[in-house]
Structure 1
Amino acid sequence: MGVKGLQCFMDQCCPEACETVNLRQVARDHAAKIQGDSSSTAHNTGPTLVVDGMACLRHWYSCKDWICGGQWKEYVDVLKRWVEAFTSAGIRLVFFFDGVVEEKKRAVWVKRRHRVNGDISKIFCHIKKYGEQPGGQNFCLPSGLATFTPFALRSLKQEVFCSVQEADYEIANYARQNNCIGILGQDSDFIIYDSAPYFSVGKLWMKNLTTVMYNRHKLCQNIGLTITQLPLLACLLGNDVVSEEKMQHIRNNAIEAYREKNPAPHSCAPQGQVVYAVSQLVSRLCSKEEETDVVPQSLALSAHQRDLLKKGICSYCLSEPRSPELDGLTASSSAFEKHVSPEILKACREKHVAAEGFMLYSVVCEGVTECSNTLEDEEDGEMHPQALVYKPCRQRIYGLLLLLGQDGQSVDCPTIKEWFVFPGNHLKEPEVVHPVPVCLPCDQPSLDLLWFSSGPEVSALRLTAFLSIFDCMELFNLYGVVEDSLLAALCLVTYIILQVQTLSQEDADAYLSQAVCLRLKTSQELQQIELPFLCSRAVQLGSLYVRGLSHLLGANSASGCPLPSAALMPWHSFDGRLFHSKYLLAHSGTEKPELLVDSDPSCLSLFLQLREKLAETCMKRGRVLQSRPKVSPPSPNTTPVDVRRDRHTGWSPVGGEGWRGRGETARGHRQGRGWTDRGEERSDRSEYGNRERLWESGGHTGGGGGHRGAGGQQFDSFSPEWRDGGAQNMTRPQQQSRGRPYSNRGRYQLAPRWSQPPAPGT
């Protein structure tokens, strides 16, 4: 969120502090400076720009389709071009992503999650009414974007870090300690930190690498404060640590005093007058107090408010060694030191920081994990929330990490606190989840053996552990026979089909056929897939699959990585538009499987092989897949399109206005048509300016603004939120759900009788 209203104040009331800069020139000037400084540590690295990855997600994901689950191959291409634009200018990039949700910010996190639930409700209302992707303020990032983006950047040979505390702090501290040219992000907290210059990604023009630098020194000149007084100003205005409500009485008094002394106040927005009023208060208080006082004694605060304000001010302190007030913020002792070795703890932290692992650090070192909003329709009584679908899987991951090698008789049984967002969960407190042991064909192997030993027996044990988490040991013999990405996809589809009893043969065929066909398609071909309409159920299934990929990643990390992480990335096994097209075709009533794989003989053979293995595994669990075609076009009473079946695509539009002119998703891809051609359609998404500045030269569509979600090693957020004031608050419309609330649907009935892993070899 940043500091409430500060960046808007600088834009509107302090334009002299908003300097347009060319990052190429900034890099050249910096390089010349360090060449003349023999003591500089930046000689070997060159000009370095620290990038707040979470704030850039909405700027990076500029693909036309976001609602079907993500156009991942195209997204990786966008990242590649973005990185190349900076490296060609001689700028080294270092990326940071959120790795934790600090408990002091949990209330803010929960508040945002509830707000996004209201947005999601509106999205599904729009899909069911019009059969198309909504635009404007209802834009949402695909699920899993913050989880998989660090891996994408690492595949592009970039340096990526995942935070173990507040990411803003780590970014500012890194930039200061490493003499970086600046911080690229969208958070006014970077104005407060006494660190490197702060550049706005929201006002970045990729064509010439120009943006706006928010100059904290000129801000201080304008409001009459020193750099060291900015943290107190930030906390009194309101930020993520000290909420706006907590200091409302202080601001009210400041505004009253300001208006008495300034009968003709500055001609700027009301929030600007608040900043001037609080700045005058801070200046007056600090002139009376000794500089050693963190919180001025003359402030009318309760003991709790004073302590909170002190924590907020100290959170901006970047000095080394760190002050005693901050010791509590960086405690890194594990919640489960009794259950894992010191070597495991060290490896979990190292993998987390290097953005190589997933779930490990949050589970083993924090004992808490979270998952943000997912595109799920609360009115759909057939579909279970992904949080509950994957709960048995997570319990086995917890068991593998915390119970492996133990007799299970310990009275000190570990539990994990889960903050998972889904309809019906009010997030008033975390759900306490118990680990479930994973049975392996070895005499109580330890996690250290699984992670650190080598040899063919250990490799087989790792794969066994991975497949046991998903109860898919029957797939063991496919290892090395099919591509790793297809093995992972089959494992995930099998788990989903077994867990969600309402899924049909058509759903399984859609999942498998798109995974098989994706390998042969370029990102350009995927962009040109035309969808006659959108199906809300297919939207949910797409998000369910991508969330499952993050669980595959967590299970793989916990098992010692039997599969390469690259095989679990969505750009190797999933594309939203491709899946949606296969879903519509599978449910259209076609009985020819070759049509699902574009009549490609090699793809057909592979598809049938995977399909047969899925049916065999399900049959052993008593799960018989049945055919239940259920796609129907939008009601002709609400959308001007007549949809008829076509033998190749399943559905084709004729008559009326036609789906080519009805919306962003239905229009199809138009090469070279960026959001500069869309006018107001995209410009209303951000309070920071037009999105066409972000990627003029890329020739792709889409856009958006930055946000901080649940981040990094968490199951991430896609909400359209901003840290400097937030997005427009859209509450959920009052409506009666057609299905029972998820919290009342028997959340623990999802795990069937076969939830315990079978004995190996059965």
Structure 2
Amino acid sequence: MGIQDLQAFIDSSQIPGSSVPVDLLRIARGLAVKQSRQQQKTGKPLNHVNSKLSLVVDGECCLHRLYGGYFSDWVCGGQWNRMVQFLAILVQTIQTNNIELAVFFNGCLEQQRMNEWITSQLRIRQKINQVLKHINIKGTPPPKVWWAAPSCLRTCLRMALRHLSISVLCTMDDHHQEVIAYCRENCFYGLMADDGEYAVFDPPRYFSSEHIKLTYKGSLETKEYILSEVTKGLGLSSDRLCVVAALLGNYLLPEQDLLEFYHRLGLVQSLGKIPVDPLVKTVATYVKGLPSVENLDTIAAQIFGSTTDPRVSRFKQSVQYYLNGTKDGFLRYRTQAAHHRHGYSQFPAQKISPHQNKGKHVDQVDNSKFASETVESERDSLQAYNEATASSAGTPQIVIEPPGIVPDDKMKPNGSAVIDGSEEETGTKSGTNSVSTVNGGHSGTLIISVSSSSSSSSATSPSRTPENKRMTNQEDSPIKSVTLPTVPPEVMRTASERHQKGLMSPYIYQILTQGEIKLPVLMEDENHKDLPSIHLVFRPVRQMVYAILFNLHHYIYMASKQKEKGDEEKVEVPDICIKEWIWSKNNQYQTPDYVRAEQVGWGVPTIQRLWFGSAIDDKRRRLRAFLTCMRSDTPLMLNPTYVPQHLLVMASVLRFIMSHPEKILLHKIELDVFIAQAFSPALMNAHQLQELQLPMVTSRGVQLAALFMQGVETALLANDACGAPIPWLMCCPWLFFDGKLFHHKLARTSTAKSLLDLCEHRYEYVLKVERMRQAILEGLDIDYCIASVQTQLSGMRVRLPPNIASPPGVIPPPVRAMNAINVPERVYAPRGLFRRTVPSRGGQLEIAGVVVGSWGPNYGTRGVPQATGSFTPHRPSGGRVVPPQVTSVGGPKAYRQGNNMQGYHMNSLNGRPPTFQTRASSRHFGVPGRGKRNQKLVSAKKLQCSGCWQEAYVQASV
């Protein structure tokens, strides 16, 4: 794996003393004591930067650790409340122990690393195939070795860390160089990551993010890599280590170009099969034997045989890249300004600590706020957030003991105890392991400022060679080059600052500056396409976002005005195309898709007005622009009685999915499951969800969760592009979704008889689900009747239940008390039966083409429609109100949850009463052949002689 082999070599402890176990909390306490003594000795106040153990964390290296470990329910779509609770405990621990963190996420397009990114995505694609195959065969969560980041994980982490007052930053141009530059410029004590490139950069102190774990005994344990011991063991200086790193292979000089060199060193294995230890030691021995590394041309000629070889220049660039990240190289190149491809220069580095409050720097203008982010809106959103999470307040389930005190009942057999949720450490199954959860741990003091990261991450990266191009074949691309309209400076400035501070989707900055985005592979089955490509499902949203960001409507409006005036000066309407890298079976990231922007459909304001307009109309148009992108610009969507504010993002995503023009992506019962889990009291109880046991994990459930969470990611992109009309606190996914709870509800639909059962027999939640479903489906014409009755009855033996119809005067037993609150009964499919509701306008029973019975309208408590349009309760002679009649039609054929989750609701029969057709067989009725007249007579006579419809049986066979 190229340079990553160096990280694996250091981690393997082949060199004694190269890695040692450490406790970060003990290091922080020791630092505090040392600084206190120094203060007493000098009598001077300490600098805030030096008073705490400040660490830069590369979040890309520890996504699974920040998520909470390798617990297996990640495949269900993400347990976001549990993630927040784990982070709350971690943050509380480090803040009370004199530690400060600044967490970086990769917000760069990094075109020069495109091949490296594609290789990584194809590797993840293989894991996803194995995961889905495992689920289809066993129906259980996959093993931890196949862990892949759930959809929207990085966005959820950014929001959760911001919510917990941790500095969050995104890189802009070169991820590794900017992370190490920020660490050096702001005088951080060390870096926490697991990447071979950082080992070459030689940070002040280098800690492992892979091995970090928070224990019951109150320690934060990990490994520290002693890089001086590594260079000493290999007999190399820091500049020679840069040459070794270049010869191990990277995005500039791939391993394939070095295969001949490896063969000359005696490493004859094929690529990917060379052991790590012999590879690193052999290359290090070769570099150690070089007389000097000052003249790279001489070294390159010796390695490649000629100075004219094209690999020579790339080798020199690779060595220089690593030298620029070292301490000496950084000091040499730090003054050089980094310029972006579109002529926009990065902000100069701020030599301040990320822990200092922005308000202390009066000379620094804050350009990161939208006009929608006022003090009043932040206060209102905070109040709404507290109301939404009120049920999560409670006592911590796990208490971290002071150092040296470990409860006996919490000790592992080997004497240690961990609470990071990792199966590797706990040795237990994910559903029952001891995991740190605090109910309400995240409902403490919030940072309601627009930026919880208190300083910009604009540390200037060391200079990079501009010749680094992506090595992909685009000769067959339909468009050779894309010219984007000029972006207003104030828009670019705000986009840059918000991007650096992790306050907006990284895609926006990439679209504005480079017109290109990379969309990762998702948890979807490429072999059994039950659902279309998820990225293609949400492409219409992105197309409208492109139009908004580049003011497409404004250009079209100006062109039409010029045409009306007859001016000779013509305003050209730009052809806005954005390159989208999307994986498919036919195009596995070989070439990008060129996606054109689409108009929103009404006079949407310019991006300047959406982001900076402070008028009342601007606020209204911001929200309308977002809802239009999500196909959710309907009256009920803005009615908080139907859609609470913290569920608006969820409702808009579900409505967009339901409005898919080609096919029904989400069945009604699945829609109910999404809504029901959002209103469930268990959603905010991370401890209860951790103890919850899933009977089965289904492939369709996994893909539906991925579809929904990618929709949330896209909705947050649209919200940021429209000026954040929905406050960020109302966009937090843990307010409305938990993958494990979603799968639990989905599994319950196989036995739940009604929506009331799905809502745990709580009528108030049934009403909420009904209202929100009504808002989501408002104005949508969706036909859920996907199979005819005759198809269902073919080959099955059916018993019509007693309540299918009743003769006059006979009152069937009431179905449920649910009718007392006027909520229509939603019948779901129990295992083994396909259940359906009975149409209120009556129906007929037909056998062998002859109608042998019928029943009249059945309005239940809703009453009989009168000519005036009012409803009068239908009361038979007994005086009792007849509840809605519920029937089930089906047979003993096994119910398959993945194929028919919707339960076959019968809501539309083209205006005619339903007709149930069956076919009789001679072996059951003793009649010679089907369709004969005597068969009809015997069948009708048998039904008539039964005396009551409750005793009627119909035998059917093919």
TM-score between the two structures when normalised by the length of structure 1: 0.75
Q: Residues 120 and 43 (structure 1 numbering): CA distance in 2 closer, same or farther, change over 3 Å?
A: closer
How far has the Cα of 1:480 moved from its partner?
4.5
Tell me, yes or no, if the aligned pair for 2:79 and 2:740 is still in contact at 8 Å: yes
Match of 1:607 in 2: 769
Structure 2: runs of 5 or more not aligned: 269-273, 345-481, 560-571, 789-825, 833-898, 900-958
Q: Distance in 1 between matches of 2:299 and 2:90?
A: 43
Report what 1:509 is aligned to: 672
Q: Distance in 2 between matches of 1:472 and 1:84?
A: 39
The question of 1:446 aligning with 2:606 is answered: yes
The superposition leaves residues 32-68 of structure 1 with CA deviations (integer Å, 9 ceiling, x where unpaired) of 3695798996547622011111111112333441111
Q: Per-residue deviation at 1:528?
A: 3.1
- In the other structure, the counterpart of 1:226 is 237
Question: Bigger shift: 115-124 or 149-158?
Answer: 115-124
**Which amino acid is the alignment partner of residue 153 of structure 1?**
L
CA distance in 2: counterparts of 1:392 and 1:204, whole angstroms = 41
Match of 2:287 in 1: 282
Q: 1:39 & 1:294 partners in 2: Cα distance?
A: 53
Between 152-161 and 335-344, report the one with greater CA deviation.
335-344
Return the letter of the residue paired with 1:417: K
Decide whether the 8 Å contact of 2:636 with 2:778 is kept in 1: no
Matches within 5 A, 1:484-563: 484-499=645-660, 500-517=663-680, 521-563=684-726
Pairing 1:309–2:304 present = no
Partner of 2:783: 624
User: Which whole-Å CA distance do the structure 2 matches of 1:26 and 1:294 have between them?
Assistant: 45
Distance 2:580 2:267 in 1: 45
CA distance in 2, matches of 1:129, 1:78: 32
Q: Which runs of 5+ in 1 are unaligned?
A: 258-268, 630-646, 654-738, 740-762
Correspondence for 1:394 among 535, 542, 545? 542
- The 3 A distance-change label for structure 1 pair 107 and 424 is same
Which structure would you say has the larger Rg?
A: 2
Match of 2:96 among 73, 76, 88: 88
Q: Does 2:53 match 1:47?
A: yes
- 1:578-727 alignment runs, 5 A limit: 578-586=741-749, 588=750, 590=752, 592-619=754-781, 623-626=782-785
Letter matched to residue 141 of structure 2:
Q
Relative distance call for 1:445 and 1:214 in structure 2 (3 A) is same
Which residue, out of 116, 135, 138, partners 1:130?
138
> In the TM superposition, what whole-angstrom CA distance separates every residue of 1:401-454 from its partner, at most 9, and x where no partner exists?
1124221763542211111234543110111111111133x4x62110110011
Q: Deviations over 1:168-221 (max 9, x none)?
A: 222211222222221111112211003221111223342322322212212111
Moved more, 237-246 or 48-57: 237-246
Structure 1 residue 227 displacement after superposition: 1.2
Question: SS where residue 140 of structure 1 aligns?
Answer: coil
2:204 is aligned with 1:215: no
- Give the Cα separation in 2 of the matches to 1:18 and 1:132: 37
Verify the 8 A CA contact 1:506 1:627 in the aligned structure 2.
no
User: What is the aligned partner in structure 1 of residue 360 from structure 2?
Assistant: none
Give the direction of change, closer, same or farther, for the CA distance of 1:2–1:461 in structure 2 (3 Å limit). Answer: farther
Residue from 139, 143, 165 that aligns with 2:173? 165
1:67 partner SS: helix
Partner of 2:64: 58
More displaced, 539-548 or 516-525?
516-525
Aligned runs of 1:85-164 on 2, under 5 Å? Answer: 85-164=93-172
Q: Which residue of 2 aligns with 1:466?
A: 626
Aligned partner letter, 1:568: C
Deviations 1:117-146 (A, max 9, x none): 222222222212111112142233322112
Residue in 1 aligned with 2:934? none
Name which structure has the greater RCO, CA cutoff 8 Å, separation 6+. 1
Paired residue type of 1:465: A
SS in 2 for 1:95: strand
Query: Alpha-carbon deviations, 1:358-382, whole Å to 9, x = none?
Result: 1211211221112212111123333
Q: Distance in 1 between the 2:573 and 2:546 partners?
A: 17
What is the alpha-carbon distance in structure 1 between the residues aligned to residue 535 and residue 55 of structure 2?
Answer: 37
Identity %: 27
Deviates more, 1:40-49 or 1:206-215: 40-49
In 2, distance between residues paired with 1:151 and 1:543?
A: 19
Query: In the alignment, what sits opposite 1:478?
Result: 638
Segment of structure 1 superposing worse, 313-322 or 271-280:
313-322
Question: Does 1:345 find its partner at 2:492?
Answer: yes
Work out the CA distance in 2 between the residues paired with 1:76 and 1:348: 27
CA 1:314/1:625 → structure 2, altered by over 3 Å: closer, same or farther? farther
In structure 1, C-alpha distance between the alignment counterparts of 2:678 and 2:488, rounded to whole Å: 39
Residues of 2 paired with 1:554 and 1:155: CA distance?
19
Residue 356 in 1 paired to residue 503 in 2? yes
TM superposition shift of 1:30: 4.5
In the alignment, which residue of structure 1 is the partner of 2:594?
432
Cα deviations by residue, 1:571-610 (Å, 9 ceiling, x for unpaired)? 1111112112222334x37452222222223222211111
Is the 1:255–1:278 contact (alpha carbons within 8 Å) kept by the matching residues of 2? no
- Inter-CA distance 88–464: structure 2 relative to 1 (3 Å threshold): same
* Structure 1 match to 2:25: 24
Q: Distance in 1 between matches of 2:503 and 2:639?
A: 23
The answer as to whether partners of 2:253 and 2:315 remain within 8 angstroms in 1 is: yes
Write the distance in 1 (CA, Å) between the matches of 2:266 and 2:26. Answer: 41
Amino acid at match of 1:610: M
SS in 1 for 2:575: coil
Which range moved further: 287-296 or 566-575? 287-296
> Partners in 1 of 2:336 and 2:247 — Cα distance?
19
C-alpha distance in structure 1 between counterparts of 2:193 and 2:109, whole Å: 19
Cα contact 1:41–1:179 (8 A) shared by 2: no
Q: Which residue identity does 2:498 align to in structure 1?
A: K
Shift of 1:297: 5.2
Stretch deviating more after TM superposition (567-576 or 303-312): 303-312
**Partner amino acid for 1:419?**
W
CA distance in 1, matches of 2:122, 2:728: 32
Distance 1:355 1:563 in 2: 17
Question: Could you tell me how far apart the structure 1 residues matched to 2:17 and 2:224 are?
Answer: 11
C-alpha change, 1:9 and 1:488, in structure 2 (3 Å) is closer
* Cα distance in 2, alignment partners of residues 478 and 281 from structure 1: 69
What is the alpha-carbon root mean square deviation over aligned residues?
A: 3.2
Alpha-carbon deviation of 1:275? 2.0
Change (3 A) 1:477 1:573: closer
TM-score scaled to structure 2, two decimals? 0.60
C-alpha separation in 2, matches of 1:135 and 1:470: 36
- Give the structure 2 partner of residue 406 of structure 1: 555
User: Which has the higher mean CA deviation after the structures are superposed, 427-436 or 519-528?
Assistant: 519-528
Larger deviation, residues 426-435 vs 5-14: 5-14
- The whole-number CA distance in structure 1 between the counterparts of 2:756 and 2:161 is 36
Shift of 1:305: 1.2
Aligned residue identity for 1:457:
D
